Amino acid sequence: MRFWLSSLQRLFPWMANLKAIPDRLGGRILLFVGCTFLVGWLLLSVLVSQIHEHLIMSQNERSVLLVTRSVASGLRTIMLAGDAEIAENYLRNLQEVNGMLDFRILRIDGSEAFRTNETIRFVNNRLGGERFSLHKKEIKNQILPSDSPILRQMLVTNREVPIYEQDPTNQTPMLTFIAPIPSQDECRGCHGQGDAIRGVIKLTMSLAKARQEIEQARWWIYGLGILIAGMVMLIIHLVVRRSAVAPLEHMTKILSENPKHDLERFIPLHGCAEFRQMATAFNQLTTQLRDAWNDLSGERDKLTTIVLSAREGIVVTNRHEEIVLVNPAAERLLGRTSMQIRNDGFLHLFHDPVHMNALRADHAQELPGLVWFNERMLQIHAASIEDSSGHMIGAAAMIRDVTREKALEDELRKLSHTDGLTGLHNRRRFDAALLEEYDRAKRYGLILGILLLDVDHFKRFNDSHGHDQGDRVLKGIAEVMRSHFRSVDYVCRLGGEEFCVIMPSTGASGVIRSAERLRSSVEQMVIDDLHVTVSIGVAIFPEAGQNESAALIKAADQALYTAKKRGRNQICYFTPELSDSPARS
């Protein structure tokens, strides 16, 4: 089928345009109205043809009926005149009439009359003598069966019976009338009282001419219908094109000539009222779109300025995870061009797709948002963008360089926990560490040692050599302490000339050895040709401070007081006997 259509289109190029008819408004209207009209006209033509055929057949039937009755009347007249031979000639002449296929006179038993001598003998006997001559040769011809339903119907109703049939030889339509010949008073003189019906006329006429007229009339009706349908479709096409298609084509032309969709261009108000209303509505919509576009353009310019000038890096994707926006700050922070970032993809911004995918998920707040990348500490905020239905339409990431802030934060944290003069942990850090280690030792049954030391006669040293020299001495002691203790030990300056060391998981012997080694090192230390000594108090948990950490500090302080009382430059280990000694004031 496609091959034949293609061949026809090659032979007749204009047929290629027929495919576009259903896609155009005028073509659709013409096709719909035309098909509707054709179907209606076809039904009407069939109805008119059937009515016309019925009328012709009825008229033909009446004509044949009149002929049958005329024949019966003529035959009755001839018979009343007593001329049987003339009747036979009359019948033979009727069979030569144009359109007459068969004509016979039958008896009421269905046999053909005037072929035997039965009736002639009956009449001659009744009238006496040889009134009518006998046939030399008798022919018994049974035309209709004696029990024929049609014959019985005619005898009962005493009316003509039409029969429509076809000639079996050439299938020509025929009309046959079976008509009665009633018996009259004049007939009784020859035939006696007898039956009410004296004979039967069987007359067959050809309907070929009538059928020919019907076919001609039918073709005239169909041809006229096609002509009228074509004229109506042409009128409809002209009306639809002028009133609907032409204004629409004008509007389409105006819109197609505006490839840049200029919102300053409006459609002229032409055509009927509906198209003018359509053009007015379109122009109003164009005005609203223009205003909205101007507002959106202004907001877009603002947003573009903000995005491009932002110090934070911004990367945005669409629903297909394709990167559609990379600002200059993102290029600078990531150390790659916009094209390289787009090619790598959103999940590979920091070459860690698993971490990046988790950051933009719902549980991203549980993950660290800081990444060391490209020699910078970067803070990342990533999230998926969803529409009102919950479908992801994109993702966005904001990247911020917090390297300096992180350094400042670490510095502040260090300053908050560090003594400014010695660089050791300060009192705040000491209090927090002591609580933490005391709770851990108490919970798990561990040993915790405390060293509390004080510079001997430090006030007199300051008064004699000045505070600057005293600060150098404190720094020197801090260096010795830092080198003598482990990384897990907390070496702290409590203030002034007081120092403290927290030694987790260290027994009494180990703490005492560390204290003695520290005391000896300080004693051997020379700062600006000056020597200093320290006194050290030692307390061990759980032997001391079983109730709270403050009791452990108090025990170490009592041991320190005892060491000073005993002459300084020595260590003193806290024992229960020292609990009654007063602590330093």
Q: What one-character-per-residue DSSP string does 377-430 give? A: EEEEEEEEEE-TTS-EEEEEEEEEE-HHHHHHHHHHHHHHHB-TTT-SB-HHHH
Establish whether domains 23-257 and 418-580 are of one fold: no
Q: What is the mean pLDDT of residues 419-445?
A: 91
The per-residue pLDDT for range 20-76, each reduced to its tens digit, is 455 565 566 667 766 776 777 777 777 777 787 777 777 777 777 777 776 666 666
Q: What is the mean pLDDT of residues 90-102?
A: 63
Task: Give the strand pairing for 571-573 and 534-541.
Answer: parallel
| The CATH homologous superfamily of the domain defined by 418-580 | Reverse transcriptase/Diguanylate cyclase domain (3.30.70.270)
Task: Give the strand pairing for 376-386 and 197-206.
Answer: unpaired
Give exposure, 475-494, as e/b (b: 16+ Cβ within 10 Å): ebbbebbeebbeeebbbbbb
pLDDT exceeds 60 at position 241:
yes
CA distance 422 to 401: 33
- What is the reported pLDDT for 364? 45
The per-residue pLDDT for range 450-472, each reduced to its tens digit, is 999 999 988 888 888 888 898 99
User: What global pTM score does this model have?
Assistant: 0.41
Pinpoint the alpha helices (H) of 208-258: 208-240, 246-256
Amino acid at 373: F
Contact 560, 536 (CB under 8 A): yes
How does DSSP classify residue 243?
Answer: I
Task: Give the strand pairing for 448-455 and 498-504.
Answer: antiparallel
Could you identify the residue written with the tokens 């479709």? 233
List the chain domain ranges. Answer: 23-257, 310-407, 418-580
pLDDT exceeds 50 at position 226:
yes
Tokens read off for 515: 């204290």
- Which of 247-251, 290-294, 454-458 tops mean pLDDT? 454-458
- What is the reported pLDDT for 278? 73
Domain range 310-407, CATH architecture: 2-Layer Sandwich (3.30)
Higher pLDDT, 284 or 122: 284
CATH for the 23-257 domain, from 1.10.569.10, 3.30.450.20, 2.130.10.10, 3.40.50.11440: 3.30.450.20
Coil, strand or helix: which one is 102?
A: strand
Q: What is the mean pLDDT of residues 278-282?
A: 75
Contact 570, 563 (CB under 8 A): yes
Higher pLDDT, 317 or 165: 317
pLDDT tier for residue 567 given thresholds of 50, 70 and 90? very high
Please tell me the least confidently modeled range out of 85-94, 111-120, 158-167, 398-407: 85-94
Strands (E), 402-533: 448-455, 490-495, 498-504, 526-527, 530-531
How does DSSP classify residue 370?
Answer: E
- What is the reported pLDDT for 418? 87
| Nearest CA-CA partner of 349 in 303, 317, 307 | 317
